[in-house]
Amino acid sequence: MGKIKNAIFTIILAALVIAFAYFAYKGQQLNIEGRPLSTDIIFLPYYAARSFARMMAAYIISLIFSIVYGYKAATDSRAERILIPVLDILQSVPILGFFPAAVFFFVSLFKGHTIGVELASIFLIFTSQAWNMAFGYYESLTTIPKDIREASEAFKLRGWLRFKHLYLPSGINKLVYNSILSWAGGWYFLIAAEIISIGPIEYSLPGLGSFMIKSMEKGEIFHAAAGLVMLLAIIAFMNIFLWQPLTLWADIYKYEYSNVNMKEKRGIGYWLWWQAPLLPRIRRWVSEKGFYIMETAGSFVSGKMKNAFNRFAHIAKISNNVIAWVFRILLLYAIGRGVVALITVFSMPLDPVLFEIPRALLCSFGRLTAAYIISLLWTLPAAIWIGHNERVEAVLMPLFQILASIPATALFPVMVFTLTKLTGGMELASILLVLTGMQWYLLFNLIAGVKSIPGDLKEAAKIFNLNRILYWRRVALPAVMPSLITGSVTAWGGGWNALIVSEYVAYAGRIYKAFGIGSMLDSATYGTGNYQMIWASLIAMMITIVAINRFFWGKLYKIASYRYKIES
Amino acid sequence: MNLLEIEHVSKTYTDKARSFTVLKDISFAAKEGEFICIIGPSGSGKSTLLRMITGLDRPTDGCIYFKNRKVDGVTDKMAMVFQSFALFPWLNVLDNVTIGLEAKGIARKERIALAEKYIDKVGLDGFEEAFPRELSGGMKQRVGIARALTMEPELLCMDEPFSALDAFTAQNLREEVLDLWQDENMPVKTVLMVTHGIEEAVFMADRIIVLSKRPAEVAADVKIDLPRPRNMKDRAFSEVADRIYSLIF
């Protein structure tokens, strides 16, 4: 029964997405001026600020989305049955493929104004940030220990108070952790999101990504490098002054009842926030002098929030039925239109290229497999090493976080240019490009898995003198199995997404292609503008991905989580 | 007058494959001022029974009346102390203790004043700003007890409150809980405690309700007349304990 329901949801969602894109494509032309982007280095700080603002806007939307979505899914079991499969699909759909549709949609929404392009780019970044955060938040709400749940019930924490004292704090750890990953993912897609080209029209939003691409196209390697340094500086700055202190602070929100496993509070960012002479003193001064004001204001705001929250909950309760019906009608309408659109598109004479799709899928699948194996070969040993050595972790983790945030997409043209010269084809280049979109998901998931191996298991292994090979076989590998599979699913999701920018690269007026489903989609989108091809390749890709997830990873995960779960 | 009446309460869990009954036709009553212990073998549904009394869970059959009103859902008149303490790790001692008052809508100043009284009573003064993870097990359970007491409940429910503590700490805390219960100034008069320790039950209770193996029924309802303060080394004490043993096994 559950499987059938899942399949139905998949179909409905697919139809919905198609309908959305159909409206977007339908007769809309991108009629904005392709303004040339200056690659003067003077503009670099301005571009950096624009890119940062874009990222921040997308992140704030992602954060709000995650909390609302996760909260709803975790507290309403009827909604959960729909929301979670939907999120699962959203996470695995290659969003980049729908990007042109999103651009058309927003641009036509704003009647060709550039704000539409800006919003489309924010939307794309949002789609690269939101899903894992929403999943993480949902997960942390469903894993709240039973006794704390009961205590909240017994002491009658309801509505806003329960959110404030239970649902918000218990999600903070995962939210912080996933925010870091999301920012890394966001930077990766920023490049693709700032240059919008459909057919002959190209529009560059002012930003770091477009600056780097443009200067690289012009051959101004020095400018491109300056852009990269700027980006690295932003990433490093955020790591030191935001993520590190936040991670330390988030320790308070762990279900840890002893001080043993608490991280040592250090780092310049943490020091600045909590220990340096200036900021903490200002904070203390404000909190002492302004205690009364803060208190009144605090309770005022809290009261307002409480009222708003409770009123919202109340309205949601009453209007649930109405909203559900409106939603159903809209859904039916959209599905109807989507089906009609699809029938129209496919009742036209079929393009012979269409029949090459299975072969293209197979080629792309081969590339992904190659990239996956390479990722696994280096991330698994690396994760086991890092996860067992705190000192190594302290050095390498920030480094990997920075490396993961470097948008490899910005380096694509140069990589492709040199690799095609060296190897004479696109094959190796596109595998490497896919690799950059795959490996980090695997690495970070695996490290988290290794770190969750309980200390007593490690000690038992030591006492019984397990050698390295035996330790790997009997302890490390089984223990990381569940996170290996979760990481693999996300890595493959990232891989399919990266495929779209990896098999088809335009550089200095030349197009480099490797035969596969990604390049097929891109050729249709940017070259021929053949709707039949666009939709056929998108649908083929979605079916493949969902099928692999359901029938391969899903099954594997069930087995692994049953056999290798560590009971506490 | 009976404060609490449990009438023919049963609890059955059903899933797709099978259904099994944990509690079967449980009936007893608690008078105001009594200290009652519920004991039984593990898996006999003691904790489930306590959760149904506090309104955290519902019986499959039968009724529970608190002050002649049917229990459905939690009320301010009963408070709970948990085996695993169930403290909010992100709140300090003061905020943990006042959480029930906050939910009641009591202003911050009054909350603190009320909480301070009970924080003092359980010997936690000076620890208001500490987080649970900075406290020892015994101190954590003091927070749990203070949190329940600030609600000034008419019935205090405790679910194996000492079983996560080491023997020393547990015995100290037992004596302190008894002192609090006997304190004329304390609003809490009636205590219902679940335990699997027979000595613990004999040491503390006026009455012991003995549950049988699953599906649990009331195997015995034993009045403990030993004078207080009791001493576990006394002969009379061991005789009572032995009698309870024989009722269970």
Homologous superfamily (CATH) of A42-255 is: MetI-like (1.10.3720.10)
Domain A351-568 is in which class? Answer: mainly alpha
How do residues A368-405 score in pLDDT, each as one tens digit? 999 999 999 999 999 999 988 888 888 888 788 778 87
Question: What ipTM describes this predicted complex?
Answer: 0.86
- pLDDT at position A258: 62
How do residues A335-369 score in pLDDT, each as one tens digit? 777 777 777 777 777 777 788 889 999 999 999 99
- Enumerate long-range contacts of A267-274, CB under 8 Å, 24 or more apart: A267/A240, A268/A240, A268/A241, A269/A240, A269/A241, A269/A242, A269/A244, A269/A245, A270/A244, A270/A245, A272/A241, A272/A245, A273/A245, A274/A245
Separation between Cα atoms, residue A188 and residue A403, nearest integer Å: 10
B80 contacts in A (CB within 8 Å)? 150-151, 154
Identify which of B76, B79, B134 has the shortest CB distance to residue A259: B134
Q: Where are the domains of chain B?
A: 27-77+153-249, 87-152
Looking at A170-266, list the stretches that DSSP marks H as alpha helix, in order from N- to C-terminal side: 172-194, 208-217, 221-238, 244-250
Amino acid identity, position B57: D
- pLDDT at position A55: 94
The helix-helix angle for A390-405 and A172-194 (nearest 10°) equals: 30
Domain B27-77+153-249 is in which class? Answer: alpha beta
Q: Is the pTM of this model over 0.80?
A: yes
Mean pLDDT of all residues in A519-533? 79
Separation between Cα atoms, residue A536 and residue A556, nearest integer Å: 29
Separation between Cα atoms, residue A12 and residue A332, nearest integer Å: 9
Strand partners, B155: B78, B190
Q: Specify the higher pLDDT residue, A3 or A555.
A: A555
Cβ neighbours of B203 (radius 10 Å): 24
B84 contacts in A (CB within 8 Å)? 145, 147
Identify which of B79, B90, B103 has the shortest CB distance to residue A157: B103
Q: Which two tokens stand for residue A187?
A: 């930077």
The fraction of chain A above a pLDDT of 70, given in percent, is 81
How do residues A141-194 score in pLDDT, each as one tens digit? 988 888 899 999 999 888 888 988 999 999 998 899 889 888 988 888 887 788
Q: Where are the domains of chain A?
A: 42-255, 290-347, 351-568
Number of C-alpha atoms within 13 angstroms, CB side, residue A452? 19
Give the chain B residue whose CA is nearest to the CA of A256.
B133
How do residues A286-313 score in pLDDT, each as one tens digit? 656 655 565 566 666 667 777 777 777 7
Confidence of residue A27 (pLDDT cuts 50, 70, 90): very low
Amino acid identity, position A408: A
Cβ neighbours of A29 (radius 10 Å): 12
CA A91, A97, A102: angle at the middle one, nearest 5? 90
Strand partners, A511: A506
Cβ neighbours of B48 (radius 10 Å): 19
Interface of B with A (CB under 8 A): 51, 54, 56, 74, 76, 79-80, 82-91, 99-100, 102-104, 108, 131-134, 140, 147, 151
Separation between Cα atoms, residue A211 and residue A41, nearest integer Å: 9
**Torsions phi, psi of A110, nearest 5?**
-105, 25
Q: Which of A210, A234, A236 is nearest to A223 (CA)?
A: A210
- The CA R_g of chain A, rounded to the nearest whole Å, is 25
User: Collapsing DSSP states into helix, strand and coil, what is residue A165?
Assistant: helix
Q: Specify the higher pLDDT residue, B210 or A412.
A: B210
The fraction of chain B above a pLDDT of 90, given in percent, is 70
Q: Residue A99: is its pLDDT beyond 80?
A: no
Question: Which of B99, B108, B194 is the best substitution to test chain A (most A C-beta atoms within 10 A)?
Answer: B99
**Torsions phi, psi of B35, nearest 5?**
-115, 105
The helix-helix angle for A77-92 and A477-502 (nearest 10°) equals: 60
> Closest Cα of chain B to A177: distance in Å?
17
> Closest Cα of chain A to B56: distance in Å?
7
- DSSP per residue, B202-242: HHH-SEEEEE-SSSB-EEEEEE--PPSSP-TTSHHHHHHHH
A169 contacts in B (CB within 8 Å)? 88, 90
